Amino acid sequence: MIINIQTIKDKISQLETEMQKADVVADPKQMSKLGREYNESKEILALSDGIDRLKKELTESQEILATEKNKEMIELTTEEVKNLDKQLAEESEKLEDILHPQDPNDKKNIILEIRAGTGGDESALFAADLFRMYSRFAESMNFKINILSQNQNELGGFKEIIAEINGDGVYKYFKFESGVHRVQRVPETEKSGRVHTSAATVAVMPEAEEVDLEIVPNDLRIDTFCASGNGGQSVNTTYSAVRITHLPTNTVVSCQDEKSQTQNRLKAMQILRSRILANLEAQKHAKEADIRKNQIGSGDRSEKIRTYNFPQDRLTDHRIKLTLHNLDKILAGELLPVITPLQEAAKQN
């Protein structure tokens, strides 16, 4: 692959200038977008420099190997060449993934939706466990998480929670989480000690920007109503909650967490745009699936993808037949041992 280093350096310089402008600093969305471009450009430059260095070291080692007579030195240099070859292949693959990602959505932020399924209160508690797991993983990856909407029950579980997660390559790490997550454990509410099976549904959608999807205002029906639940004296007295319906697709989003109707409307539009884009992507993938089977699952939210078995301290990902233990660590956010094999399986398709 050929990279124009000067072009990358010019882009970095241009982005640094843009990110110092007052109007950009005041716009978190724009700042985040430019920040991702800046970090990606810096990573491309670093990888390119590293690859050049490895190539130079490899050439020098190969030249030594071609003239060396000492047996011990030949063995050492042969091992060095082998290691350099491996490093060069790995760094080149990283650079190729950045320049030509398999999925153009990999670089995007996401909208994460978790809903309680079968299992009543235990399902809602499990939904809260999943959200906590994803939150801790996001923090470990330096991603930023922001709750857009939540519906909590009396036990602290979530009937539904929707959040946005921002950072470099968020979708790449979360995209295989969509589907039904099943848990087998003794619920806190169970006195007899019997193991119950419950489930929660996870949906991961690449965040849709306005350039990705044009929504015609006339296609929207916007209703306002009084918010319910905790929220102080203004709850049930002001029409701050917003419900937006996209008429052509009958997609409905409600938001009431914010005291301001304007803020609720902005959040609802953000979720709505991502849901519509996700549905369009799903239709596209369904057509592709008729031609080629996807070994790691469709990402459909009705597909059972994973089981968390507490009595056996076991996690099973049914798509790639992956079995891991140490559920406590996984639920504490150590998700890379789960995610990396899924990413590798996707590359084989």
Question: For the segment 242-294, what is each residue's pLDDT rounded down to a tens digit?
Answer: 899 998 888 899 888 777 888 888 888 888 888 888 887 777 666 545 534 44
pTM of the model: 0.66
Q: What are the sequence ranges of the domains in the chain?
A: 5-99, 105-209+294-348, 217-285
Confidence class for position 229, pLDDT limits 50, 70, 90: low
The rounded distance, in Å, linking the Cα atoms of 58 and 194 is: 61
Joined tokens for residue 15:
């982005």
Is residue 323's pLDDT more than 90? yes
Joined tokens for residue 203:
């949906």
Confidence class for position 106, pLDDT limits 50, 70, 90: confident
Joined tokens for residue 119:
């299992």
Exposure pattern of 272-309 as b/e (b: 16+ CB <10 Å)? Answer: bbbbbbbeebbeeeeeeeeeeeeebbbbebeeebbbbb
Is residue 163's pLDDT more than 90? yes
The rounded distance, in Å, linking the Cα atoms of 180 and 191 is: 26
The rounded distance, in Å, linking the Cα atoms of 155 and 128 is: 10
What's the mean pLDDT in 118-133? 93
Is residue 126's pLDDT more than 80? yes
Is residue 233's pLDDT more than 50? no
Joined tokens for residue 305:
């993808």
Q: How are strands ordered across the β-sheet holding 251-255?
A: 220-225, 241-246, 251-255
Integer angstrom CA distances of residue 99 from 53, 122, 215, 283 = 20, 44, 30, 26
Class for domain 105-209+294-348, per CATH?
A: alpha beta
* HSE-CB of 151 using CA atoms within 13 angstroms: 13
The verdict on domain 217-285 having CATH code 3.30.160.20 is yes
Is residue 238's pLDDT more than 70? no
Joined tokens for residue 17:
């200038």
In the chain, pLDDT over 70 holds for what percent of residues? 88
pLDDT at residue number 349: 64
User: What's the burial of 323, exposed, middle or buried (CB within 10 Å: 0-12/13-18/19+)?
Assistant: exposed
Which pLDDT tens digit goes with each residue over 191-221?
Answer: 677 888 999 999 998 887 655 677 888 889 9
In the chain, pLDDT over 90 holds for what percent of residues? 44
